[in-house]
A and B are shown apart, each in its own frame.
Chain A
Amino acid sequence: MFGSAARLIFIGFVLKQILDYRDWLDFNRDVIFTVTPGKCHVVLHDGGSEDLTHVGNGVVLFSTGLATSKGHIKAVDLNQSLNAFTLNITNSPERDDFMTKLHGLSSWRDPHTGKLYLYVISHASEESIEVFEVEDGMNLKYIKTITDSSFASKFMNDLVVVGKDKFYISQFAHFPIRDMTKVNLEWLSRWKTGNIYYYDGHRARVVASNLEQPNGINISPDAKVIYLSEWGSKTLKAYRRESTNNLVELWSTYLGTGIDNIEVDPDTGDLWIGAHPVMWKVIDLLNIFGAKHPGQVLRIKMTDNAISEIEEVFSDDGNFLYGTSSATNVNGKLVIGTVSQKAAVCELNYLSKNEATDSGLLPDSYVAN
């Protein structure tokens, strides 16, 4: 009697694991409908634009070439034309693997000198962060390369710069990108092998661990809260930054979709997130087999650094854009980047407001009669 009960419980447990894993893979998410916020234009036709960021005056920078090998920093000036151009790099080092497979990027303006710096993760012979000064006329002047023994042979994804050569960086996987078979197995195993490191200008240390494929990372406008897309668990996390730069988890919200990079609107604090809605289709994220998987952009309204509403601003079944990894809103224009394919700019004909209404109950896009 006890034996049968134990056997039944065991079978139930195994079935539950199968069900949960099947849910995680989004096996039954078969039909993706389109959501279009306005007229869309393609600004980059191929090569990908894994991460992007608005550096001011309508200029958006992209990191390209993650799926190929040779990467470039490209840009689009939204106030001029909708064609992306490649930035010239001066003072570059003579390494063969310079600018290989560019991934997450982050810009930082020095409050004392006013100079703008760009930091880009490059999967070179070891994981490197290339540092540039962004000069007028859209040139990049190479400054230095940052590496650290604690993450040199791992798989880093995104970073957010908080000071001169000081940043938080997400470690996506234990195995490096050139070992995609092991990376895929690591992802499918769902083991929490990911970490967030803080680099203090000299060395890196782990400030958050036990994460499932941490991906995009960014910071609130008041610089107090770090946001992280824990892509593997489809969860958005927020951490409080302490004076030591250590992180303490504040909240964790399940979003049910594969969230990638995060951009933060400096005025409203809104989060703009590129996402991959169907997990099992992501297995070909670097487009080696040419499988199309759907794209999605979320806009998350924040109040006091906590989530107040989550909107889906863009959705596509993969025919127009797939592998949407990053997005940002620049004055009513939505810029969307993908891992290995195009980059697009869509008009945002309507964006509901992000201010608390007088009643405090309804979001500002609603008015009771």
Chain B
Amino acid sequence: MMWSTIVTITLFGFGFNYFLNYRDWLDWEKDLVLSINPGSCKTIIKDGGSEDVTHIGNGIVLMSTGFEFFGPPGQIKAVDLNNGNKVMTLNMSNVPSRTDFLSAPHGITTWRDPDTDQLFLYVICHPKPEDRIEVFEVLKPLTLKYIRTITDPKFDFMNDMVAVGRDKFYITKFARFREYNRYNLEMFSGMKFGGIFYYDGHKAREVASGYYMPNGINISPDKKVVYVAEWGTKTLRGFRRDSSNNLAEIWSTYTGTGIDNIEVDPDTGDLWIGSHPITWKIIDPFFGSLPPGQVVRVKMQDNAVSEIEIIYQDDGTNCAGSTAATYAAGKMVVGTVREQTVVCDVKYLTPN
């Protein structure tokens, strides 16, 4: 009958369209990644990864290293860009005696108290029972003193955070499921279970919801706009912060690449983002492929995107699975999920 033919063809059309979009999302037909080198590059850490990086001043960049799904404790390392790119592991004092302390360290953020000039470091960790944010004071000479642990029943599988006050921060919920198989199903399904939470010093509340695996989060130098890298949809979003710390989305830009963590240049407002240009290579649980590395620099105008540049790209041989990048002291530091950490000279940057 004519009717059933129309229905069949329409259903088939929808199915084929879904299949095409999914295939595009995977970057299935992409394989070759061209190199882009901003200057001479050095591999400062060969493996173990450096999922998130942040510059704390004077060319010192802190990194969370050793991330593995609910894996063993990792470490906080630092590289001194003004001192021959020397890498050191930070000693921690006053730490609790839990064996799973600092398990799978993920996103990090720092906050300087304007009154006391103390610098605090917050690290998202994934021990098996629940996600925990470990809080440290960063002391000179460079060591970490453990202060407290922050948890909240609303935290499922979190990814990155940005501190806006003492123990006050915005944090991204990457996935609802913390168990590996269900997490993978959630990722492959495309369901929008992710969101952004605000922790006010005592408890967390959701300030934005319905996103597909929101990943990196950071804030404009004037503290008015919160930037979120929604990795799942390859979209960069800007949210206006209001006086009650709620968020309202003001713009979104499709980037076409798997944007991960965001660092913000305090002088220019540029965003430096580690990204995954070929989705199937970074989520591949079957073929053991080598994921490429990429760093994009997003030039901003009035806290909105004006131009996107690629500063660095590698097929994975030197930098596999780049998740974070920052620009300091004329150099670019690139961190990866579990492989290398690379420092490159940046010989040219277009003016903002």
The interface of chain A, by Cβ under 8 A from chain B, is 15, 19, 22-23, 28-31, 33-39, 254-256, 298, 309-313, 315, 347, 349-350, 352, 362, 365-369
Stretch in B30-38, B50-58, B167-175 with 4+ CB within 8 Å of A: B30-38
Query: Is B24 touching A365 in the complex (CB atoms < 8 A)?
Result: no
Query: Is B39 touching A366 in the complex (CB atoms < 8 A)?
Result: no
In the complex, how many angstroms separate the beta carbon of A264 from the nearest chain B beta carbon? 19
| Apart from the given pairs A365-B40, A368-B43, A369-B45, 9 other A-B contacts in the complex at a CB distance below 8 Å | A33-B308, A33-B309, A35-B309, A39-B348, A309-B35, A312-B310, A350-B40, A366-B42, A366-B318
Contact A367/B310 with A31-B254, A312-B34, A312-B35 known, Cβ cut-off 8 Å: no
Query: Is A31 touching B255 in the complex (CB atoms < 8 A)?
Result: yes
Complex: A312 Cα to B257 Cα, angstroms: 17
User: Which residues of chain A have C-beta atoms less than 8 A from B348's C-beta?
Assistant: 36-39, 347, 349-350
In the complex, how many angstroms separate the beta carbon of B151 from the nearest chain A beta carbon? 37
Can you list the 6 inter-chain pairs with the closest CB atoms, starting with the nearest?
A: A31-B256, A349-B348, A350-B347, A312-B34, A349-B347, A28-B24
User: Which residues of chain A have C-beta atoms less than 8 A from B255's C-beta?
Assistant: 31
Query: Is B29 touching A33 in the complex (CB atoms < 8 A)?
Result: no
Query: Is B42 touching A367 in the complex (CB atoms < 8 A)?
Result: yes
User: Which residues of chain A have C-beta atoms less than 8 A from B207's C-beta?
Assistant: none
User: Which residues of chain B have C-beta atoms less than 8 A from A309's C-beta?
Assistant: 35
Contact A34/B44 with A310-B35, A350-B39 known, Cβ cut-off 8 Å: no
In the complex, how many angstroms separate the beta carbon of A95 from the nearest chain B beta carbon? 44
User: Which residues of chain A have C-beta atoms less than 8 A from B41's C-beta?
Assistant: 365-367
Q: Does B252 contact A (CB under 8 A)?
A: no
Complex: A313 Cα to B313 Cα, angstroms: 11
Q: Does B296 contact A (CB under 8 A)?
A: yes
Query: Is B43 touching A369 in the complex (CB atoms < 8 A)?
Result: yes
In the complex, how many angstroms separate the beta carbon of A199 from the nearest chain B beta carbon? 34
Query: Is B36 touching A350 in the complex (CB atoms < 8 A)?
Result: no
User: Which residues of chain B have C-beta atoms less than 8 A from A39's C-beta?
Assistant: 348
Find the residue from B32, B37, B39, B296 having the highest chain A CB count within 10 A: B37
Residue of B nearest to A312 (CB): B34
Query: Is A367 touching B40 in the complex (CB atoms < 8 A)?
Result: yes
Q: Does B143 contact A (CB under 8 A)?
A: no
Query: Is A34 touching B308 in the complex (CB atoms < 8 A)?
Result: yes
